[in-house]
Structure 1
Amino acid sequence: MRKGMQSRWLMGVVVVLGLLLLTLLPRTEDTPRNPAPRSSSSQERSLNTWNTSEHAVPTPTGSLRITGVVRDARGSVPGVRITASRADAETLSERPCPEPLRDRQAPSSVRENACRIVHMEEEVARLVEAREGEAPVFAQTTSAEDGTFALEGLPSGAFALWALGEHGAVMRPEVPAGSEAVELELEEGFQLSGTVTEALGHTPIPGARVTVLHEAHTRFFDAIADDQGRFRVGPLPPGRYLEVASAQGWRTGVFREEPWIDSDVEVDLKLHRMRWLEGLVLTPQGLPAEGLTVNLRPDFKGADLQTTRTDAQGRFTFEEVPAVLNHAWVWNPERTAYGEASTEKTSEKLVLRMTPCSFLEGTVRDEQGRPLEGVRLTVKKQDPGDDPPPEALTDEAGHYRLGPLIGPYLEITLTRDHFMNKVEHLSRRDDLARTWDFTLARAVSVEGTVVDTGGAPLAGVALRFLSKRDAADGFTRARSSNRDANTVSDEAGRFLLDSDREDSGWLFAEARDFTAAKVDVKVPSTEVRVVLHRGASVSGTVVDAKGAPMTDVTVKLWDTTPGSGDAHTDTVDAKGGFSLRGLKAGPYMLEAWRRTPGMEQSTSRPVELEEHTQAEVTLRFEEGRTLEGMTVDTFGQPVPGVQVRACIPLDDAPAWQLLVEPCDPRERGGVRSGPDGRFVLQHLVAPTYQLVAWKEGRSFAPSRSRGGTADAFSLHVAPGSEDLRLVLERSPRLKARVVNAEGQPLSSSLSVKYEYKGATQAPDGVFDLVRRDTIGGVRISAEGFFDLERDVEGQPGEDVDLGTLVMTRGRKTRLFVRDEANPGSMAGVPVFVVPSYKDNPQPDRDPDPPRFHGRLDAEGAIDLDGLPLTTRLFTVRLQQDGRQQDVSLDAHQEVVTVTVPARPR
């Protein structure tokens, strides 16, 4: 008895000690759930990667296992965490795409309802913040001392295996449960590092969470930004990744750098601050509008729609809105009145003054005056909402009623079979007649059916007609409207093409999986029968140098027949498979292509296709050679963070490759040199490459570089190149310090004169920019101050310091606008206020006076800021009907009222 008690006591001590030891061990897990910043220095935190809490231990859901070994180039590797995950219906990568985002041009290897998650920005941001949408983990373990591992309790099916170690990583997709002796060979992987900063400057956002997620298999990897906004994640296996950055008080951002990442990447993730937005909705009579739904959409691709309701005073509030351009709109319940407004200023309050909507009525007739039934009238999309544009269909009497209509101008399209399409542009002024009749010209038509070789009708076939007469003159179509130039066959394979004249030409028919057809036709014609042949096909697999299937590869089949210029494209599936069908016989070049941070990689082989043949081809990427070098300054000292890119020289590009991407690391990215200036380019297979390099504030100097042959823009390197040094010179700088009259720094912007590019912002008023020798002059702007213009003079390549620039504050005048025809409030009415030069001195030696294009505020007024201390004449114009009135502002007026006259009867 005593011996049994002692044994149990010893066992308990061992368990307690074991648990205590586990709590003390450092953990470097692959997927966080509730990460917390560690009490370490900023530098130490910036180096820690996804050091967060681990998954809960998965509950076994089956009886199968996967066993194997983890190795690297030196042998077996212990202590590597291995997980088995599998995408399901709730996983981000598997969720169906919203209808507006479905890619109707997606290749056959992509599921019909699939949508790249980069397009669902708001949905991705919401789910990642809620820690949802990740592929579930079914089993996890750590490799033993001899590198072996066993994943237990798996159900049947295939899994993605992730092996994440301190010095390498690998992901193996589609490993069936029950597999044995699976070899996971660690690759070097890549580190993703960067900064999280505010969108309008470089201020870091400490404590921001960065989640890196694999697009295809949706695994999450987290990091917390340090005090300088720095973070690092890795090493991760190569693949497609998104970055999701979030912080309290900031709009969560979804970012994507390179389509395929297999080497270290440095990113700058910029977030927009969230703010409180208030507004007011008024009826057309200027009274508060109660109980209406206000819609708001930020100016972001894929941004979610927000809604709220107005209170008894017509007021509304949105509590969290990104500090960007926001567009708001509102309808009354009867949809007879509409209002909209935009804002991006933090302090501005929105005023939505609703205006009555109109309906357009009339009759559509043919050229003989007979009413036409079944004419479809469509208005070009008018409002920013998701509602379809207004449409109407004429009845037996040719009558239509179209609306509700908003906006000052209308674009209306009229279509009907056997008649020429028509596009009308109308001005929706107050004097626009509510009755508007249209006349359509009769067309001559080509009608028929598209079938396959078995006689089955084909839907969705694109058809177009080319006139022989126009082809001889170099024209590509013989229509008066684009909408008559093309059509698509319906479910029964029927098609109709209308023309404005009798003619002869060719009818072209194209459909996926079929060879294109060209048929001689005359206009008019009926019962034209177009037969499409399925043609030849080529399918196969893309593999790496070790024979493993590759994903994220584009397959291009180039037609090498002289003068063809055609290319068929497909994207490989999760198993590296591809299939191209509907091909005509002839010689082709089959190419597998993908873009990585440092270069475009490709492999190709010729394919000769015969009629109705089915070719099977395997494309293998070669391992290639590795090129190492350094980025240095003119003194030979390392320059870190330089983007280096390798490209095949244009003269070496094969003739069949019609499209060659530009060799520019600023646009296409590149591998980044490390802290010691070293960089590595892998998988080089061409005889010669040209290298280009870029870093902000530096200029690549090929003539001063070593290890290759220089031209004006790049360094050409061949196999065996040694002591490769890419020299980057310091770029000349343009400097300035902007202050107010009291010498205090002034938040301002600098733009290059006569150049259509965004201005550079300087919240602290200090500018230190790369100077381009082409800059002739700059304009400095600050809210409430007169613009300053300065010439940029200096020798090419030299710094230019504009010194301290003192800006003069302008005066502000509050301008109230009244309407003689309507004594009520003018709040929310859109107006233009522009300088009127007819009575102003010429030439104008004062700074440019301000302009205003927007809506009157809740008091029916606007603030004109930055006015010169002289008398100036302005024109106030109502946007809705064009009525206007001039107003003179003397040098000291602070409040002015202008009344726009009523329209003469």
Structure 2
Amino acid sequence: MRRLLVPGAVIAVLCLAVWLALGNSRGAAPQRQSTDGSRASSRSLPLFQALFQATPSPSRDTRLRIRGTVRGPGGPVSGARVLASAPVAGESLSTLPCEKGSSRRESLLDCDEEQAREQLLSLVAQRHGEAPVLSRATTTEEGSFSLEGLEAGPYTLWVESAQGTGLRHDVPAGSEGVELQLGAGTRLSGRVVDEAEAPVPIPGALVTAIFKPHSRFFEAVSDGEGRFQLGPMPPGEYTLITSKEGWLSSVTGLTGYAPEEELTTTLYRPRRVTGRVLRSGTPVAGAEVVVQDPPLEPILKTLTDTEGRFSFEGLPPLRRKVIATHGGEGAFLEVVTDELNTLEFERRYTNVTLELAPVSYVRGVVLDELRRPIEGASIEAQQDPEMGFIWMRGRTDAQGRYRLGPVKPGLVRFEVRADKHDVLLDQMHTVPAGESAVDFTLPQEVLVEGTVVDAAGQPVAGEQVMLRALDDLGNPRMWESSGETGLDGRFSLEASRAGSYRLEVSGRMTVPQAVEVVAPSTQRILAERLTTILEGEVVDEAGIPLPGVSVSLWTVTSGELEDYLVRGTFSDLQGRFSLTAPEEGRYRVVAGQMQGVFSRETSQVVEVGKGGARVRLRFAAAHRLSGVVVDRRGQPIADANVRVQPAFHKMEISCGGSTPGTRTDSDGRFTFRGVSGELLRLHVWKEGFGRAEGAGPQGSIPLSPDAREVRVVLVDPAVVKGRFVHEDGSPVTHFSVNGESYEDKEGRFAHPLDRLGTVLIELYLPESPHESVRRTVTIHQEEVEVDLGTITFKPEE
């Protein structure tokens, strides 16, 4: 009996081991996917190895968790979804380059090249390229969450709730006590319509908004009226793709910072081009026909059949060139796809005829002044509109050789560019039919190159450098060339000729300095880093970091702002920024956003000492602002320009978004969906009208932070009028008043004034060597006329 118990015990142990192994396998938490879609398991061991180990092995489970709390304006938020994602290098769209093997920094989502666009559409259609979600959780009643089963590394955390959205970048796995703020985010609504003059809605279109920094997809489908809604989504930059079977997909950019965004997307039917290639009226079989997006490489290619026929399907609505070649002859057809609807396009480009004729191919070599071949030089051949906008581009090989064509025999304009060489523009050559040779010699650039390093020998990146001619030192606006140091601290500036110059290091990151240099030369500039660095972050009203916000630094004297911009930058993905003050002192730091009918600002005055300073800029909640623009009689003014902007701003504030501002409707009314800030100003203008009543010196009206409804009165400008005559009393029929040209057979003029006060009026004859005739007038109010009478032009004046 004892012999029978041993095998039974072994079998029981085996069964227990198998059950435990299977249980462990089923209970394993998900791991980050590998590139082939498989999942790694740190717990899996060969079954028999586990059975016969003398002692239990220590756990090799390296999975981590992230724990924290979601909070909204009212405190902890329950029932919110929290997601953890991480891009996969070489797969997620945000990690793919604009061009394969290219050194350009743009990602595929920012690229406007035709091939990149097609690659992007193909990946999104297959739902490839999204950063995978690797863990999910739902917040408890206390707002807490725990994201489980994460590998070591940084993650982006997303919060989704009916109350809004939240986002936080670069949270390491294993973090505890992470706080996620829930904000309103941005909601996108719009319509998808066709290209008809009276657009028809397109139902069932898929609208995909891709968050550029992280390749996160947000999707919606248009309803029966073509309408769709997306959001709430985190504020930031998006690529918007709209697609439907049977239509050409649309790719547009979207800057989403306003609480509400609206967008109308137009989809186009695919274009079709068909025709025949003939030679003296006879069909040509085997002719090569390409569709080209000048000056790029052909994007479609085919051969004619035995009857000389060809066909291209699915052309997008862009201007194209169709080129046929055979036996040293060619034919060209310009296809205008973006100005014609589908029916008009079909009528114009179905059954076209391409008649072959002699063409030209141009070859040659590009050399430097020492007769050495230049590799990689860019060379373009262009022909004028009478030639059908023929445009070819190529690059030279290692021997400096190139070949371009076909082009039409006749006059061709060549442009040649190469690194460290001057640009040759407007080089015209007449080329005959067949093969011809045109060589180019590029003069060497005169360069001042070098590196900017600090006291420790480390490169200084992002420092501005300028090269000035010594005889231009009295004019601060004049310089030979300027640039910024790269990540390696290197710079390269071009001089117009050899000689002595002054090289200035501007003081953006280091103490300003200037040294005299000789061009050409290579310099090593030792710079002292500034310690007056202002660091900070920009957040919205909920405390959520905002990327891509314009931040600027301004000088302050006695608490009042001078009109002097010191520095400017943009916040990064975490809403952080860094600005270097040129010296210790008080500054105003301003964050502002202007995008369409959304404008907000926030600012603080800070004291920047030798150890720098830190600041947190927080936008107030935005509110709607409406108003009406009228004339002095109270009549509405339609199509007036209206803009809300910070009193302190820089032009880049609208970078990446639509043109800031709006126009009044037929009733003179306008609406901004969101404005906020203590220092906002309202700009209203229309051609033919003067400034708004109550406007300051810059033509703007201060806005109260709590303004919801405004009324703006535009007045007619004051006018000076008169008659301009020669000494003999004959009228001056062509002349200028304060830079504006006038033509009148009696020499009369009526010139509007753009400001009040004392104004200088200058009248002069174009291209006259004599001085202008000057008069001074004082204007106290708009809508008055001042008659200067007869003004006589006297050469001695």
For the criterion TM > 0.5, the same-fold answer is yes
Match of 2:206 among 206, 209, 228: 209
CA gap of 1:418–1:574, structure 2 versus 1, over 3 A, is: closer
Q: Residue 188 of structure 2 contacts residue 260 of structure 2 at CA under 8 Å; is this kept in 1?
A: yes
Match of 1:199 among 188, 195, 199: 195
Q: Deviations over 1:591-632 (max 9, x none)?
A: 44444551043435556587xxxx554331235365456679
Q: Deviations over 1:70-97 (max 9, x none)?
A: 4444455444333222222221122223
Structure 1: distance between partners of 2:439 and 2:292: 36
Structure 2: distance between partners of 1:148 and 1:456: 45
Structure 2: distance between partners of 1:489 and 1:560: 29
CA gap of 1:559–1:384, structure 2 versus 1, over 3 A, is: farther
User: Sequence identity of aligned pairs in percent?
Assistant: 24
Q: How does 1:126-525 map to 2 (within 5 A)?
A: 126-144=122-140, 147-201=143-197, 202-257=199-254, 259-281=255-277, 288=284, 290=286, 292=288, 294-297=290-293, 305-329=299-323, 340-343=332-335, 344=337, 345-347=345-347, 348-349=349-350, 351=353, 353=356, 355-359=358-362, 373-374=371-372, 379-382=379-382, 388-389=394-395, 406-407=407-408, 408-412=410-414, 423=425, 425-430=427-432, 452=453, 466-469=468-471, 476=478, 505-507=501-503, 518-520=514-516
Q: Deviations over 1:796-818 (max 9, x none)?
A: xxxxxxxxxxxxxxxxxxxxxxx
Q: Residue 360 of structure 2 contacts residue 436 of structure 2 at CA under 8 Å; is this kept in 1?
A: no
CA gap of 1:240–1:419, structure 2 versus 1, over 3 A, is: closer
- What is the CA distance between 1:208 and its match in structure 2? 1.2
For 1:552, the equivalent position in structure 2 comes to: 548
Structure 2: distance between partners of 1:273 and 1:68: 49
CA gap of 1:185–1:494, structure 2 versus 1, over 3 A, is: closer
For 2:92, the equivalent position in structure 1 comes to: 91
Name the amino acid aligned to 2:333: A
Structure 2: distance between partners of 1:197 and 1:264: 20
Q: How does 1:886-905 map to 2 (within 5 A)?
A: none
Structure 2: distance between partners of 1:630 and 1:623: 20
Structure 2: distance between partners of 1:281 and 1:157: 60
Match of 2:704 among 696, 703, 718: 718
Q: How does 1:665-744 map to 2 (within 5 A)?
A: 667-668=659-660, 684-686=676-678, 689-690=681-682, 717-719=703-705, 721=707, 724-725=708-709
Structure 2: distance between partners of 1:669 and 1:692: 10
SS of the aligned residue for 2:314 comes to: strand
CA gap of 1:437–1:166, structure 2 versus 1, over 3 A, is: closer
Structure 1: distance between partners of 2:73 and 2:491: 62
Name the amino acid aligned to 1:153: G
Structure 1: distance between partners of 2:215 and 2:491: 43
Name the amino acid aligned to 1:241: Y
CA gap of 1:447–1:690, structure 2 versus 1, over 3 A, is: closer
For 2:48, the equivalent position in structure 1 comes to: none
CA gap of 1:131–1:445, structure 2 versus 1, over 3 A, is: closer
SS of the aligned residue for 2:184 comes to: coil
CA gap of 1:678–1:589, structure 2 versus 1, over 3 A, is: closer
- What is the CA distance between 1:203 and its match in structure 2? 1.4
Q: Residue 294 of structure 1 contacts residue 310 of structure 1 at CA under 8 Å; is this kept in 2?
A: no
TM-score by length of 1: 0.53
Q: Residue 237 of structure 1 contacts residue 262 of structure 1 at CA under 8 Å; is this kept in 2?
A: no
SS of the aligned residue for 1:667 comes to: coil
Q: Residue 58 of structure 1 contacts residue 140 of structure 1 at CA under 8 Å; is this kept in 2?
A: no
CA gap of 1:206–1:620, structure 2 versus 1, over 3 A, is: same
Name the amino acid aligned to 1:150: S
CA gap of 1:116–1:363, structure 2 versus 1, over 3 A, is: closer
CA gap of 1:711–1:532, structure 2 versus 1, over 3 A, is: closer
SS of the aligned residue for 2:659 comes to: helix
Q: Residue 557 of structure 1 contacts residue 567 of structure 1 at CA under 8 Å; is this kept in 2?
A: yes
Q: Residue 392 of structure 2 contacts residue 405 of structure 2 at CA under 8 Å; is this kept in 1?
A: no
Q: Residue 331 of structure 2 contacts residue 357 of structure 2 at CA under 8 Å; is this kept in 1?
A: yes
CA gap of 1:565–1:403, structure 2 versus 1, over 3 A, is: farther
For 1:896, the equivalent position in structure 2 comes to: none
SS of the aligned residue for 1:573 comes to: coil
Q: Residue 235 of structure 2 contacts residue 257 of structure 2 at CA under 8 Å; is this kept in 1?
A: yes
Unaligned runs of 5+ in 2: 1-36, 43-61, 338-344, 383-388, 631-638, 687-691, 714-797
- What is the CA distance between 1:206 and its match in structure 2? 1.5
Match of 1:619 among 615, 619, 622: 615
- Number of residue pairs aligned between Structure 1 and Structure 2: 607
- What is the CA distance between 1:192 and its match in structure 2? 1.3
Structure 2: distance between partners of 1:508 and 1:474: 12
Name the amino acid aligned to 2:704: A
Q: Deviations over 1:506-560 (max 9, x none)?
A: 45678996777644457xx676756352632636341436765442234445578
Q: Residue 691 of structure 1 contacts residue 716 of structure 1 at CA under 8 Å; is this kept in 2?
A: no
Structure 1: distance between partners of 2:291 and 2:675: 51
Structure 2: distance between partners of 1:293 and 1:474: 56
Q: Residue 449 of structure 1 contacts residue 457 of structure 1 at CA under 8 Å; is this kept in 2?
A: no
Q: Deviations over 1:118-163 (max 9, x none)?
A: 6454433322222111111112243445544433322222322322
For 1:573, the equivalent position in structure 2 comes to: 572
Q: Deviations over 1:303-330 (max 9, x none)?
A: 9933444444443322211244333346
Q: Deviations over 1:771-828 (max 9, x none)?
A: xxxxxxxxxxxxxxxxxxxxxxxxxxxxxxxxxxxxxxxxxxxxxxxxxxxxxxxxxx
Structure 2: distance between partners of 1:603 and 1:303: 49
RMSD of aligned C-alpha atoms?
A: 5.9
Unaligned runs of 5+ in 1: 1-55, 104-111, 367-371, 395-399, 479-484, 635-641, 695-701, 730-905
Structure 1: distance between partners of 2:40 and 2:642: 46
Name the amino acid aligned to 2:261: V
For 1:533, the equivalent position in structure 2 comes to: 527
- What is the CA distance between 1:211 and its match in structure 2? 1.6
Q: Residue 591 of structure 1 contacts residue 604 of structure 1 at CA under 8 Å; is this kept in 2?
A: yes
- What is the CA distance between 1:503 and its match in structure 2? 6.3
Structure 2: distance between partners of 1:228 and 1:728: 37
CA gap of 1:74–1:625, structure 2 versus 1, over 3 A, is: closer
Name the amino acid aligned to 2:205: A
SS of the aligned residue for 1:88 comes to: coil
CA gap of 1:389–1:627, structure 2 versus 1, over 3 A, is: same
Structure 2: distance between partners of 1:689 and 1:488: 33
